[in-house]
Structure 1
């Protein structure tokens, strides 16, 4: 029986500059290369779900991936929608915001490390209003098996979608990025929470330095989220792998990172992780475990070996 994942979130055009190093204040540095491409955490995660649910572009999938979001009435909008369609995503629920620009992310990638720095201009992404998501049908028809959310659309809208999804009995995966403090009732009954180190620190009122210290006990963090009502918690740790705990586990488990040939660009690694994990969630009816987190690490490992955001996300055969 076919399953449906609805991703509600941002659609951006990425303007990517590859540089030997990040310039200092007031310094002009000659870049290695410049490129544009489709991005946005919402769109990236939709592409990851679609590609990791099938071996290749010509193969069938038992999962339908639907994207809900907004683009501007500019030259970037049609390109964004066309790109999503090329990954076999249902784009019929994407709206065009008149008088708005499509969201833009200016990304600087340091070629020696693959690390990135991002400046985001939300544009049409902020035209998604809470009033548009008050009924179960606003999550898509037929009702999805899983809704995936991030924080690149207005926070009030995200909170309303979570409330509507919970009322409709729809499982929710929240990737709170970029992170801000959230109301406590968000966590009650939340199916899946995926955070990186800095996001975990912000959400639990810790310093980033504390959580990044050698030997930090991630059990303390995951247990805190579980006590608030989250069912499954994952902390992605980049080159150190991930930490996973579900409500049925006494202690969390560390998952080793995937070995990679060379880190080229980390831009969409986290989004690939989310997509791979989400596919496991709907395929297994929510009964995910350590092996699914390992699979998500594996998929993210393939992504960092390539340049770009969506263009770097692998199909299942590549994983």
Structure 2
């Protein structure tokens, strides 16, 4: 029986400049390279779901992946939509916001350190308003089996979507990035919460230094989320793997990261993890476990071996 995943989130064009160092005020430097590409956490996670739901671009899939978002009436919008379609994503729910620019991320990468400096202009992503998501049909028709959300669209809109989905009995996966403190009622009955170390720290009012300390007990964090009503909690730990706990487990489980040949670019690794996990969720009817987290780690491992964001996300037979 066919399943549906709806991703509601951001679509951005990434403008990436590689530079020997960050210029000082008033200084002009010659950049090493410049590139553009499709991005946005919502779109990245949609690509991950679509690619990891089928062996390759020509194979059929029992999962329909639908992207719901907004682009501007400019030259960037059509290319983002076309890019998603090339990964076999249903883009019929993407709207064009007249008078708005498409979301843009201007990314400056310092070559010597790899440190990023990013200026994000949300543009049309912020045209998604809470009032548009008060009915079950606003989540897509047919009703999805899973809704995936991030925090690159207005927070009030995300909160309304969660409320509507819960009332309709639709499973929700929340990846609260970029992280901000959330109302406590968000967590009650939330099916899946995926956070990285810094996001976990912000949501639980801890310092990043505390959670990154050697030997930190992640059971304390996952148990806190479970006590608030989350059913499945995963903390992604980069090269250290992930930590997973569900409501039926006394203690959480540490999952090792996938061994990689060479780390080329970590962009979209977290989004790949979300997509791989989401595919497991809908295939198993919401019942997930350690093997599903291991599979998500493997998929993320393949992504970091390639340069780029969406272009680096693997198809299932590459994992």
When the two structures are superposed, what TM-score results if normalisation uses the length of structure 1?
0.96
Q: Which stretch of the first structure deviates more once superposed, 17-26 or 293-302?
A: 17-26
Q: Distance in 2 between matches of 1:21 and 1:316?
A: 37
Q: Distance in 1 between matches of 2:240 and 2:25?
A: 31
**Displacement, 1:262?**
1.5
Q: Distance in 1 between matches of 2:143 and 2:170?
A: 8
Q: Distance in 2 between matches of 1:95 and 1:187?
A: 29
- Let me know the Cα RMSD of the aligned residues: 1.5
Partner of 1:58: 58
Any stretches of 5+ residues in structure 1 without a counterpart? none
**Displacement, 1:18?**
2.9
Q: Distance in 2 between matches of 1:189 and 1:21?
A: 47
Q: Distance in 1 between matches of 2:113 and 2:120?
A: 21
Q: Distance in 2 between matches of 1:60 and 1:21?
A: 46
**Displacement, 1:130?**
0.2
Deviations 1:42-95 (A, max 9, x none): 000000000000011000000000000000000000000000000000000000
**Displacement, 1:106?**
1.7
Q: Distance in 1 between matches of 2:86 and 2:148?
A: 20
SS of alignment partner, residue 205 of structure 1? coil
Partner of 1:313: 313
Q: Distance in 1 between matches of 2:253 and 2:18?
A: 36
**Displacement, 1:159?**
0.1
SS of alignment partner, residue 118 of structure 1? strand
**Displacement, 1:17?**
2.1
Q: Is the 8 A contact 1:105 1:120 kept in 2?
A: yes
Q: Which stretch of the first structure deviates more once superposed, 146-155 or 105-114?
A: 105-114
SS of alignment partner, residue 169 of structure 1? coil
Q: Is the 8 A contact 1:115 1:266 kept in 2?
A: no
Deviations 1:214-259 (A, max 9, x none): 1111000000000000000000011111110000110001110111
CA separation of 1:165 and 1:276: change in aligned 2, threshold 3 A: same
Deviations 1:120-169 (A, max 9, x none): 11000000000000000000000000000000000000000000000000
CA separation of 1:23 and 1:284: change in aligned 2, threshold 3 A: farther
CA separation of 1:109 and 1:277: change in aligned 2, threshold 3 A: farther
SS of alignment partner, residue 307 of structure 1? coil
Q: Distance in 2 between matches of 1:54 and 1:28?
A: 46
**Displacement, 1:118?**
2.8
Q: Is the 8 A contact 1:150 1:176 kept in 2?
A: yes
Q: Distance in 1 between matches of 2:38 and 2:162?
A: 26
Q: Distance in 2 between matches of 1:110 and 1:211?
A: 27
**How many pairs were matched up?**
319
Partner of 2:181: 181
CA separation of 1:28 and 1:300: change in aligned 2, threshold 3 A: farther
CA separation of 1:318 and 1:117: change in aligned 2, threshold 3 A: farther
**Displacement, 1:288?**
0.6
**Displacement, 1:113?**
6.5
SS of alignment partner, residue 137 of structure 1? helix
Q: Is the 8 A contact 1:51 1:57 kept in 2?
A: yes
CA separation of 1:138 and 1:9: change in aligned 2, threshold 3 A: same
Partner of 1:132: 132
Any stretches of 5+ residues in structure 2 without a counterpart? none
